A and B are shown apart, each in its own frame.
Chain A
Amino acid sequence: MLHTFVALVEDKPGVLTRVASLFRRLNINITSLTVGNTENDGVSRMTIVAEAAEDRAHRMMASLYKLENVLEVDDVGRHSAVIRELALLKVECDAKNRADLFQLAEVFHARIVDLAPESLMMEITGSASKIEGLVQILVQAGYRILEMARTGRMAMRRGRHTSRVLAALSDTSSTGSSSSPPQKPANLTADQKQSGNWSAEQNRS
């Protein structure tokens, strides 16, 4: 199955290698991996999509946590989450079939972001299946896709759920106190236990 993890990691050189190397070592293929900034300086957010047997989720998560630069891991695939991907498609077309493509774009809520005499570029955001749907229609209709670029998935849990790590980090950055990690809750609800959030019994030094 496809697993989707969100990992908050320190924004430092070599962190991507460590994460990638871990999946290599587990002999698991990474389907997509996106990295970007978060609302906190010094913290990057990775969305990792990997193809592996269902029961390997724990192993991947526990192994990610073994990396010193990893702050938090969330198995978002197991929760209600918004998962999005962006694709750019350059399609061969001339003045004759442009109108047809404009119509297709509208159906898929895609945008035309560039027009050239012999091609146009579409931008589409959505779930992977939506993007694949557009691609399929284009191909079936006989259009030639000259180039395609996809970002891979980004994911965020629905509702008020927020990473405690990030919450704590923004707290400490505003008060300027130590960079020590957030305190975990004393008692866990079943949901928290599943979530892989801070749930250690004790802070040890």
Chain B
Amino acid sequence: MSNSSNPRSSDPAIGSQPTRLTGAETLWATLVGEGVRDVFGYPGGAILPAYDALRKFPIRHILVRHEQGAAHMADGYARASGRVGVAVATSGPGATNLVTGIATAMLDSIPIVCITGQVSSKVLGTDAFQEVDITGITLPVTKHNYLVSRTEDLAPALREAFRVAQSGRPGPVLVDITKDAQQNSALFDFAGAAPAAYRPHPMLRADSASMRAALELLRTAKRPVLLAGHGILHSRALDQVRTLAERAQIPVACTLLGLTAFPASHPLNLGMMGMHGESWVNHAIQQADLLIACGMRFDDRVTGTLATYAPKAKKIHIEIDPAEINKNVPIDVALIGDLKEILETLLPLVSERDGSEWLHAISTMKGSAAVRDIQQLPDNGHLYAAHVMHDLWRETHGDAIVVTDVGQHQMWEAQYYKHEKPRSLITSGGLGTMGFALPAAIGAKVACPDREVWVVAGDGGFQMTSPELATIAQEKLKINIAIVNNGYLGMVRQWQEFFYEKNYESTPLLSPDFVKLADAHGIPGAHVTQRSQVVSTVQTAREHKGAFLIDFHVEQEDSVYPMIPSGAALHEMIRRPPENRLVETANES
């Protein structure tokens, strides 16, 4: 990934002349120089010198209600914009509260930089008040981290942190700064603190022999499928992937995080693969003779049991992280490196191909499932989450940034909301962190103030981070919130239904009146219990100039179909039982 930040050289603090600054000033001056305009944070003793200097710098600070929220906001900010998100916290509990958010960013390769205060260097390692070894704690969940105890080391460490966060396979970086390093002064020289250039991975070798082998596989394949992953967004390779698919007429299956890497309405787009993917997508993968995996990692949620995964297919894996090659699935041709660069090298050598036979075969597999439209279903008095997602998609023309939490509603959103724009679905895929949606949506809205932002959260996950409603109110952010309220920790209930004989242990869930909760924050809202109310309430929310919350009381024991039980093969899915027939897909006609 290229470094997209550009120093604002007009700022006095980062002019060409080295100046003497305190560490606190150095921190903000360096962030400004890296192009940072917004940070999400929460103050405390060990980071107080930094906060004291903040108002001298052109940076917007969003006060969160819990540091986990700060990390998720930085994450949502990065996912929505492609720019590095920044979270700030104090030492000890402030730092440990960040950890879930950092791990969430790590598992989805999101470039964020977390700044934490630390006790003074003189007392490091003494169990001083609010001291924790946060660089030790976050070692396995950061791409890299730094402990800075001298002011002169701060700017170089921070600048390197930004480089590390966004280069290669992106990821979270933490910079822990002792209080004395913030208080002392040193010569600040922004340009002089520039990090060494990004060092491409020594194992990167999309060599010409592999390129030729890949082209040969492409040329001879009869039933190819392109697997579109999150790496397409990271590498900004959307056009290249699309050109490849179109020129060689290759159908495209998306991972959850790759859903917005290829337009949903594109005729070659089959939809989402994996555990809750549509049957024809998984069948196409199982029958394929060639898989071209672009920036995805064959996660267990998309492969089903590995022993029977795409048994007839040769596999080309285009991936920037060599550690992903042959990790889960044996690869025939590995092209290691930046996806966009590799495709740009390959594309001139890819010729047009007639894929009609295979595409036709897939259409036949779709059968009637693909043409049923839930919009046409009679309103039988029940409110299904599928209806809510479908109507939300129609009303927002598939254009909104939708930020989902984790659970059934996340899968329904993925199935029924057709995303047309890149980065318009923000969701925790790798870690599956409940509580992600509300704070991540705040980050997305701050990054993209002109975009329409919707939170789609379950009644369970929403309660994990609902205090961030106060942040929305304080920052006057226009965010629409849809709670898919089924009275259960629904996804867990579903597993209990399928695999634990309906032993609904600890999954029924009492919630507050979410509309009243919003009201307590000065945010209006409405309850929706009928299909007929969905569209008008969504319209009300969109028209309201501030934040708006809708509590959708949906069918309580509905499940996400189809489902591949973990450990089963990709084609052995659980289908919706016929007596409760609700269509499994929505196709706009």
Stretch from A28-36, A91-99, A176-184 that touches the partner: A176-184
B373 within 8 A of A: no
> Closest Cβ of chain B: how far from A24's Cβ, in Å?
9
Stretch from A44-52, A59-67, A80-88, A112-120 that touches the partner: A59-67
Contact B201 A200 (CB under 8 A): yes
Stretch from B135-143, B497-505, B548-556, B563-571 that touches the partner: B135-143
Contact B139 A200 (CB under 8 A): no
Interface residues of A in 23-79 (CB under 8 A from B): 25, 58-59, 61-63, 65-68, 72-73
Contact B202 A72 (CB under 8 A): yes
> Closest Cβ of chain B: how far from A133's Cβ, in Å?
37
Q: How far is the CA of A68 from the CA of B202 in the complex (A)?
A: 12
Residue of A nearest to B199 (CB): A181
Contact A62 B325 (CB under 8 A): yes
Contact B203 A180 (CB under 8 A): no
Residue of B nearest to A60 (CB): B323
Chain B residues with CB below 8 A from A179, complex form: 196
1/0 per residue, CB under 8 A from A, across B319-342: the answer is 001110111000000000110010
Contact A66 B337 (CB under 8 A): no
- Known contacts A65-B203, A66-B323, A188-B205: A203-B197 contact under CB 8 Å: yes
- Known contacts A21-B139, A63-B323, A68-B144: A204-B198 contact under CB 8 Å: yes
Contact B337 A68 (CB under 8 A): no
Chain A residues with CB below 8 A from B326, complex form: 58
Q: Contact residue range for chain A?
A: 35 or more
Contact B143 A199 (CB under 8 A): no
Chain A residues with CB below 8 A from B198, complex form: 204-205
B200 within 8 A of A: yes
Interface residues of B in 187-206 (CB under 8 A from A): 196-206
Q: How far is the CA of A181 from the CA of B2 in the complex (A)?
A: 18
Q: How far is the CA of A105 from the CA of B143 in the complex (A)?
A: 50
Q: How far is the CA of A67 from the CA of B204 in the complex (A)?
A: 15
Interface of chain B, main secondary structure: loop
Chain A residues with CB below 8 A from B207, complex form: 188, 193, 199, 201
B164 within 8 A of A: yes
- Known contacts A180-B196, A205-B2, A205-B197: A65-B202 contact under CB 8 Å: yes
A175 within 8 A of B: no
B308 within 8 A of A: no
User: Quick one: which of A13, A17, A65, A187 contacts B201, CB cutoff 8 A?
Assistant: A65
Q: How far is the CA of A193 from the CA of B135 in the complex (A)?
A: 35
Chain A residues with CB below 8 A from B164, complex form: 68
Q: How far is the CA of A66 from the CA of B171 in the complex (A)?
A: 11
Contact A180 B197 (CB under 8 A): yes
Chain B residues with CB below 8 A from A72, complex form: 202
Q: How far is the CA of A73 from the CA of B202 in the complex (A)?
A: 9
Interface residues of B in 276-330 (CB under 8 A from A): 321-323, 325-327
Q: How far is the CA of A61 from the CA of B322 in the complex (A)?
A: 9
- Known contacts A66-B321, A205-B2: A14-B205 contact under CB 8 Å: no
A174 within 8 A of B: no
Contact A199 B205 (CB under 8 A): yes
Q: How far is the CA of A66 from the CA of B196 in the complex (A)?
A: 17
B539 within 8 A of A: no
User: Count the A-B residue pairs with Cβ separation under 8 angstroms: how many?
Assistant: 85
Interface residues of B in 205-228 (CB under 8 A from A): 205-208
B3 within 8 A of A: yes
Residue of B nearest to A18 (CB): B139
Interface residues of B in 227-271 (CB under 8 A from A): none
Interface residues of B in 125-158 (CB under 8 A from A): 135-136, 139-140, 143-144, 147
Q: How far is the CA of A197 from the CA of B147 in the complex (A)?
A: 30
- Known contacts A180-B196, A204-B338: A199-B144 contact under CB 8 Å: no
Chain A residues with CB below 8 A from B325, complex form: 58, 62
> Closest Cβ of chain B: how far from A139's Cβ, in Å?
41
Contact A21 B200 (CB under 8 A): no
Q: How far is the CA of A17 from the CA of B142 in the complex (A)?
A: 14
Q: How far is the CA of A85 from the CA of B139 in the complex (A)?
A: 31
Contact B200 A203 (CB under 8 A): yes
1/0 per residue, CB under 8 A from B, across A148-186: the answer is 000000000000000000000000000000111100100
> Closest Cβ of chain B: how far from A96's Cβ, in Å?
52
Q: How far is the CA of A196 from the CA of B203 in the complex (A)?
A: 6
> Closest Cβ of chain B: how far from A177's Cβ, in Å?
12
Residue of A nearest to B164 (CB): A68
> Closest Cβ of chain B: how far from A65's Cβ, in Å?
6
Chain B residues with CB below 8 A from A181, complex form: 196-197, 199
Residue of B nearest to A64 (CB): B323
Residue of B nearest to A188 (CB): B207
A143 within 8 A of B: no
Interface residues of A in 5-25 (CB under 8 A from B): 13-14, 17-18, 21, 25
Contact B322 A200 (CB under 8 A): no
Chain B residues with CB below 8 A from A73, complex form: 202
Known: A68-B164, A73-B202, A196-B202. 8 other contacts (CB 8 A): A21-B140, A58-B322, A61-B203, A65-B202, A65-B322, A201-B207, A201-B341, A205-B2
B→A interface (CB under 8 Å): 2-3, 135-136, 139-140, 143-144, 147, 164, 167, 196-208, 321-323, 325-327, 337-338, 341
10 A-B pairs with C-beta separation under 8 A: A17-B136, A62-B323, A65-B202, A68-B143, A180-B199, A188-B207, A200-B205, A201-B204, A202-B200, A204-B167
A→B interface (CB under 8 Å): 13-14, 17-18, 21, 25, 58-59, 61-63, 65-68, 72-73, 178-181, 184, 187-188, 193, 196-205
